[in-house]
Amino acid sequence: MTQRVHSIAVIGGDGIGPEVTAAALQVVRAVGVSFTTKEFDLGAARYLRDGFVLDEATLEELRGFDAIMLGAIGPAIGDTRIPGGTLERGLLLRMRFGLDLYVNYRPFHGVEGSLAEGCDFAIVRENTEGPYAGEGGVLRHGTAHEIATQGSVNTRFGVERCVRYAFERASRAPVAKVTLVHKTNVLTFAGDLWSRVVADVRAEFPDVAVDYNHVDAACIYLVEDPTRYSVIVTDNLFGDILSDLAGAVTGGIGFAASANLNPAKTGASLFEPVHGAAHDIVGTDRANPLAAVSSAVLMLEHLGEDEAAARIARVVRDFDGDAAILGTSGVTARLLERL
Ligand code: IPM
Ligand code: MN
């Protein structure tokens, strides 16, 4: 059998991004997966240097890779030189929308000592619509009568493909259950669409149980009884907020991985840890690479390298060292040793 050589675009980005990405690639190489990389200099540092965020040509080039690995994007806290939204909308969301990465898949495993110790669940977050779509505007800016609107866009097509992905995931999960999280009692238009789509799609998956929680209640359950969840499906903004909470109760954002997926594979999918650039610890060997390594596991699954993915996942799961003591290189060395 000839081995496939995967092409990976690498956006190390800012702060600790390049450090954790390098560690993750080292681990992927160690399990014998063949790949080529091309680095893309994008993020806050690049923007501050020459004003470049992302253009159409670079986006098209990224689309052609088998996968994109991203470290972290963003300036240091307190650095006000970059207007809010420049990189978020101009780079990260532009890739999510432009490459049609319509699912943000975030699996969580409660590590020892965490509130959700031993729990396994995942959040399937719609990734191209909702309040993130950019619908809205400002009138009479700067006056006493200023108006700002920010609509939530929910299309039947967009909701359905996300919900279907959640059901597919749940049908392969240890507990076959999907929980829709929304606020149907207040956001009645969008909530009704989401509810009807879930009711329609569940008919295709008779073995998957279905539950519903309001988003505020889900915040309580995630802390007090996370065992009730297997696959949560929710809109873009609820998914953003819930996944930070889920990261916190399962052991910290240092462990949380994410996959921005185009399940239809019409272009590259993007894999990134949920954490940020943590400029305060750059170059100190203190960044925990486990979230980036777990994101690489999701990348390998997407690339069809299931065996390699499972091998790394097992070692990450059984990892018993203290990342705060071992540091980036220590954690990486231990992972390599155990593989
Ligand atoms: C995330 C981040 C992004 C989001 C920001 C950086 C735009 O918080 O990936 O969760 O809101 O989606
Ligand atoms: Mn977030």
Strand partners, 124: 105, 233
Residue with token string 């060395």: 333
Contact 315/335 with Cβ under 8 angstroms?
yes
Q: Which of 73, 82, 87, 88 to mutate to test the pocket of ligand 1 (most atoms within 8 A of CB)?
A: 88
Q: Alpha carbon 103 to chain centroid distance?
A: 9
The residue contributing the CA closest to ligand 1 atom 4 is: 240
**CA 221 to ligand 2 centroid distance, Å:** 19
Q: Which helix (H) or strand (E) holds 211?
A: strand 209-214
Residue with token string 């790949």: 35
Residue of 14, 165, 183, 235 marked catalytic = 183
Ligand 1 contact, 240 CB (< 6 A):
yes
**CA 243 to ligand 2 centroid distance, Å:** 7
Could you tell me the two tokens for 34?
């063949």
Contact 245/219 with Cβ under 8 angstroms?
yes
**CA 164 to ligand 1 centroid distance, Å:** 23
Is 183 marked active-site?
yes
At 180, phi and psi to the nearest 5? -80, 130
**CA 240 to ligand 1 centroid distance, Å:** 7
- Which one of the ligands is nearest to 244 CA? 2
The rounded distance, in Å, linking the Cα atoms of 252 and 240 is: 15
**CA 204 to ligand 1 centroid distance, Å:** 31
Q: Which atom of ligand 1 is nearest to the CA of 236?
A: 12
- Residue 339 CB coordination number (10 Å): 14
Q: How confident is the model at residue 23 (pLDDT cuts 50, 70, 90)?
A: very high
Q: How confident is the model at residue 252 (pLDDT cuts 50, 70, 90)?
A: confident
Torsion 190-193-199-200 (CA) sign: negative
Torsion 219-221-227-228 (CA) sign: negative
The residue contributing the CA closest to ligand 1 atom 5 is: 88
3-state secondary structure of 5: strand
pLDDT in tens, 123-178: 999 999 999 999 999 999 999 999 999 999 999 999 999 999 999 999 999 999 99
Q: Which atom of ligand 1 is nearest to the CA of 74?
A: 6
For 6, 35, 68, 113, 261, the CA distances from 38, given in Å and listed in that order, are: 11, 10, 10, 39, 20
The residue contributing the CA closest to ligand 1 atom 9 is: 274
The residue contributing the CA closest to ligand 1 atom 8 is: 240
Mean pLDDT of the chain: 96
> Model pTM?
0.96
The answer, yes or no, to whether residue 1 has pLDDT greater than 60, is: no
| Percent of the chain residues past pLDDT 90, beyond the cut | 96
Tell me the three-class secondary structure of 84-98, residue by residue.
CCHHHHHHHHHHHHH
The residue contributing the CA closest to ligand 1 atom 7 is: 88
Q: What's residue 2's pLDDT?
A: 58
Beta strands 67-72; 269-273: pairing state: parallel
Q: Which atom of ligand 1 is nearest to the CA of 92?
A: 7
Which pairs from 218-226 meet CB under 8 Å and 24+ separation? 218/179, 218/181, 218/242, 219/245, 222/116, 222/246, 222/249, 223/115, 223/249, 226/110, 226/115, 226/116, 226/119, 226/121, 226/250
Q: What's residue 48's pLDDT?
A: 97
Q: What's residue 331's pLDDT?
A: 97
- Which one of the ligands is nearest to 95 CA? 1
For the chain, how many residues are written?
Answer: 339
**Mean pLDDT computed over 99-127:** 96
For 2, 21, 53, 249, 323, the CA distances from 331, given in Å and listed in that order, are: 32, 13, 32, 22, 6
Q: What's residue 209's pLDDT?
A: 98
The residue contributing the CA closest to ligand 1 atom 11 is: 240
Is 132 marked active-site?
yes
Is 244 marked active-site?
yes
Q: What's residue 184's pLDDT?
A: 98
3-state secondary structure of 16: coil
Ligand 1 contact, 88 CB (< 6 A):
yes
Is 216 marked active-site?
yes
Q: What's residue 117's pLDDT?
A: 95
Q: What's residue 232's pLDDT?
A: 99
- Which one of the ligands is nearest to 73 CA? 1
The answer, yes or no, to whether residue 68 has pLDDT greater than 90, is: yes
Residue of 47, 132, 165, 229 marked catalytic = 132
Strand partners, 6: 35
In terms of Cβ atoms closer than 10 Å to its own Cβ (0-12, 13-18, 19+), residue 195 is middle
Q: What's residue 3's pLDDT?
A: 79
